[in-house]
Amino acid sequence: MNSQLVEQSEKLAIEGGMPIRSTLLPYARQFLSEEDIEEVNKVLRSDWLTTGPKVEEFEKAFASFVGAKEAVAVNSGTAALHSSMFALGIVEGDEVIVPTMTFAATANAVVFQKGTPVFCDCDPQTLLIDPVKVEEKITDKTKAIVAVDYAGQPCEYDELREIADRHKITLVSDACHALGANYKGRAVGTLADLNTFSFHPVKPIATGEGGMITCESYESAEKMRRLRNHCLTSDHRERQEKGAWHYGMEDLGYNYRLSDIHCALGLSQLKKVNDWTNRRREIAKKYNQTFAQMDSVTPLGLRDDVTHAYHLYVIQLELDKLSVDRGEIFKALRAENIGVNVHYIPVHMQEFYKREFGTGEGLCPIAEQSYERILSLPMFASMKDEDVEDVIEGIEKVINYYSK
């Protein structure tokens, strides 16, 4: 490489240099095999596109995979969270403790039921909900705690369970990041009273859109199955099998159904969870080894009693050692075609919650400070080793350039 090309490769792309990659490497994406496509095609050739046999088949397979008694398929992770709040009977005046370091849907699901989300701060190393701060938030109006397995690392469920049981409130797991993870040898999906999952394309498995709730209670599962079908007393398949037409509506429900098309894809993808989780852990190990040598980048803390699913790989920038803020680092990496992202803006800082619930700056200071420092790096099972090296090279290039 001549000196001019060397200079171009070392110069940041944002300043006119040669980018690390010629095309953008996204932070996450789905992977579909020919087997996945063929399973969907079989449903398209069948008599049932929705409310058919694949729904129950997917539910049973998912429950078996995580070790739960019941699984209820719905059409998104948001629907899974809302269905959980419905099953718990959350109503106006009830409070539900939620972490602020999460996607807005975690809190929104409480509001859908006219409940009040009470935002809780996080541990500064893991960004998981802090059990000590959870205890401080409990009042006589508290009905549930929602623990979010941020980035794919399970929360401290033994401590949260002890708190929930002592106060006679329900523990809910937002495990949308964490399919394939374990906590003290127990699978995510069995760690709380209700456990929710998402099958959005960037999640551990993809059905296009989709979600699932797992639990041990048949009664709770039946409530959620009714909710997803307008709270009707029967669905189309049940009526057809009985040769009947009559149905009743016992409550106000929603169309949260997941189609047989989606369920067929989910069944096929479910077979790959363990292999894909292992691959993401391999990528994380390479990232960890690199960033352990960098003063300006700190990976999130990892407890030794869990196996991490690594839906996200999040770093925290040591801004006191850099000459620019996170926004400039973000733009510089994007210019290198490294598709970094940010997860998340603390929910209590969103305009809706400021306006409707009076939240604002200073409510959860650790999450607010961490938000200014975090970046999510590309992390998905179909990444090639060369992709991983590109990310590492891009981080080193940009961070070294902006280091003080």
* Residues designated catalytic: 203
**Cβ atoms of residues 106 and 149 within 8 Å:** no
Identify which of 97, 270, 47, 87 has the alpha carbon closest to the alpha carbon of residue 196.
Answer: 87
Identify which of 318, 312, 365, 364 has the alpha carbon closest to the alpha carbon of residue 198.
Answer: 312
> Phi, psi at residue 75, to the nearest 5°?
-90, 10
What is the Cα 383 distance to its own chain's centre? Answer: 19
Q: What is the CA radius of gyration of the chain?
A: 22
Distance CA 139, CA 174 (A): 22
Q: What are the C-alpha distances in Å from 250 to residues 13, 229, 253, 300?
A: 60, 11, 9, 46
The SS3 call for residue 95 is strand
Instruction: Report the C-alpha dihedral over residues 24, 349, 86, 200, rounded to 10 degrees.
Output: 0
Instruction: Report the C-alpha dihedral over residues 288, 289, 293, 294, rounded to 10 degrees.
Output: -30
Distance CA 310, CA 232 (A): 38
SS3 content of the chain, % helix, strand, coil (to 5): 40, 15, 40
Encoding tokens for residue 106?
Answer: 């975690």
Encoding tokens for residue 134?
Answer: 């959870």
Distance CA 390, CA 396 (A): 10
Residues in the chain: 404
Please name the residue that has the structure tokens 């719905």: 74
